[in-house]
Amino acid sequence: MQAPSSPYPLLDSLTAPQQVKHFSPAQMEELAAEVRAFLITSVSETGGHFSSNLGTVELTVALFHHFDFLQDRIVWDVGHQAYPHKILTGRRDRFPTLRMHHGLSGFLKRDESPYDHFGAGHASTSISAALGMAKARDLQKQDHVCIAVIGDGSMTAGMAFEALNQAGYLVTKNFLVILNDNDMSINPNVGSLQGYLNQIMSGQYYHRWRERIEHAIKAIPIGGLSKGVAKAAKWSEESFKRLMVPGLLFEDLGFRYLGPVNGHDVDATSKALAEAKEKMKDGPVLLHVQTKKGYGYEPAMQDPMKWHGVTAFDAESGELIKVVVDPLKPAPPSYTSVFGKALVELARTDEKIVGITAAMLDGTGMNFLQKAFPDRCFDVGIAEQHAVTFAAGLAAQGMRPVVAIYSTFLQRGFDQVAHDVCIQNLPVTFVLDRAGIVGADGPTHHGLYDLAYLRCLPNMVIMAPRNENELRRMLMTAIYCGHPAAVRYPRGNGLGVTLQEPVVPLPLGKGELLREGEDLLLCALGAMVEPALKLAETLAQEGLSCAVLNARFVKPLDSVLIHAWADRCKGVVTLEEGCAPGGFSSAVAESLADAGLLRPLLRCAVADHLVQHGDPKRLLEEEGLSPEQLERRVRAFAAKL
């Protein structure tokens, strides 16, 4: 019986990506089709970033046709455009483990492959990193090419333009920036005229016209007349580009601008890259490539935002595979939605409340405010630094700004939080979603450091709710406390508690004693409060009496309550889903030491190392924060007292 033929004959034939250099245009087109088909099939089974990767298939194939990325260097911005890159660089067989524990990373990682030259999970870093590689190459007398692929909204960040500015100033040769313009960046789709302009600007007319002008100028004898003609020609060229080409900004920054080119036409993209290779011998080049998120898969093309990052789905029907929920036990609301709805409720009673987010309207729950009060909701794009200082400006003029940003992304605006908000003691509220271990996206996305990097800042108030009802109270507390304030909470659903009405603020800096005890004080924060209560119940059955304290505030810490119960107990246990250095446990330890209460202390927190990607429950277990591990650790700690 004859074995069935493979659906990926060209992919199967690749033993090294360098073979793509020898492919014909027809073979490259076929390879792109196979990569896309494999991508759809594989991600449908595992979930992952989807629509952005579908948009870079042809570009990736064309890049491997022209460059050898064991020698040349490429930096993919963010990394969620780089699944095709992974597929072509020997990792196709690992895709069934995508974003799983000890499996293939959803982003680029330097220790995963020699073809991953720079890791990333946050946006807008590619041009800076690739430029650094280019200058290192020059200083070491090497001659390979350095490429940055940016797009998918990443050009909204100021860092990208800082890097462009330096690259042009340095006249960096063999340096290529590829702007993957997928309608989430600079150039919106303007309909039927777009195709015509693409033909003009892809080099067929504009560059032919430019070369004729340059040839004509060189033929004119040197003198006053030629200077006048040259000046007029330069004015004419710039006027032409201002009218027809969206790349004058890049040329003014010192780049030779090429494009835009249809990024789903392998042959056209390949020819544009060939031209770029020649042009960048004289200085930096920016190639403008237009792509479509979700290209080649109709459901993703119709709703690219929905399909940006997906769970497993039926590839044939395009239906997401939903977790079966017992209709008699509906899932509690997510913390994100509880925040979004609570913000709208407060905004209805206070017209000074405004919302700000950085390209995460739906992800942060700010879409509720946008729908209710569109003129009081601001999406600034991927520009966290601007978001923070924009909020500071609003607060300085009497408004009550609420900035909703994932915990990991607020790191990008740390100086602005310190310099523009805290030093001036402006009442800006920071709502930090995805605090703690988030899972599949790994080290770049875990929200483990917010407590440490915010706790050191003067005037900052820091809170973490034990449930969704407390979240609503903390939001009100933060908005009206008169200081910079941060509320951090985990990804996912709440506990299903009853939402009390009306919402009332919490007393500033006051914790809550939930259970009395004599042997141990379990001092817990946020998502670790409920596990602490359950742990106390379990240990009580063994005769170990534990007091449980819901800290609520990391700053100002309720030292009076903590000291009182630490003094009654034999030992203290802190529980938090954050990094141990500088976090909540550090605050408790410092407070006890300052008061001379030198009690034995067990700090249950994430150790000083990177937490990799994987299932959150398994990661919590590895960090000693799962219910079973907490019970084991606390029991062993108590036995030594």
Residues forming the active site = 293, 384, 412
Residue pair 99/126 in contact (Cβ under 8 Å)? The answer is no
Burial of residue 101 (CB within 10 Å: 0-12, 13-18, 19+) is middle
**Secondary structure of residue 565 in the 3-state scheme:** helix
First to last CA, the chain: 72
Query: Going edge to edge, which strands form the sheet with 461-463?
Result: 377-379, 353-357, 400-406, 429-433, 485-488, 461-463, 553-555
Single-letter amino acid, residue 285: V
DSSP for 484-526, please give it: -EEEE--SSB-------SS--PPPTT--EEEE--SSEEEEE-G
**Secondary structure of residue 434 in the 3-state scheme:** coil
Q: Nearest CA to 604 among 542, 545, 522?
A: 522
Strands 285-290 and 175-181: what pairing?
Answer: parallel
- In whole angstroms, give the CA distance from residue 583 to residue 448: 9
Single-letter amino acid, residue 363: G
Q: Is the peptide bond before 502 cis (omega within 30 degrees of 0)?
A: yes
User: How many DSSP H helices and E strands does the chain contain?
Assistant: 26, 21
Burial of residue 66 (CB within 10 Å: 0-12, 13-18, 19+) is middle
Q: Nearest CA to 125 among 488, 437, 450, 411?
A: 411
Q: How distant is the alpha carbon of residue 33 from its chain centre?
A: 28
How large is the angle between the packed helices 335-349 and 468-480, nearest 10 degrees?
Answer: 40
DSSP for 42-75, please give it: HHHHH-EE-HHHHTTHHHHHHHHHH--TTTSEEE
**Secondary structure of residue 412 in the 3-state scheme:** helix
- In whole angstroms, give the CA distance from residue 406 to residue 360: 9
- In whole angstroms, give the CA distance from residue 364 to residue 407: 11
Residue pair 349/400 in contact (Cβ under 8 Å)? The answer is no
DSSP for 7-29, please give it: S-HHHHH-SSGGGGGG--HHHHH
Residue 357 is inside which H or E element, if any?
A: strand 353-357
- In whole angstroms, give the CA distance from residue 271 to residue 528: 56
Residue pair 482/428 in contact (Cβ under 8 Å)? The answer is no
- In whole angstroms, give the CA distance from residue 382 to residue 358: 5
Tell me, what DSSP letter sits at residue 4?
P
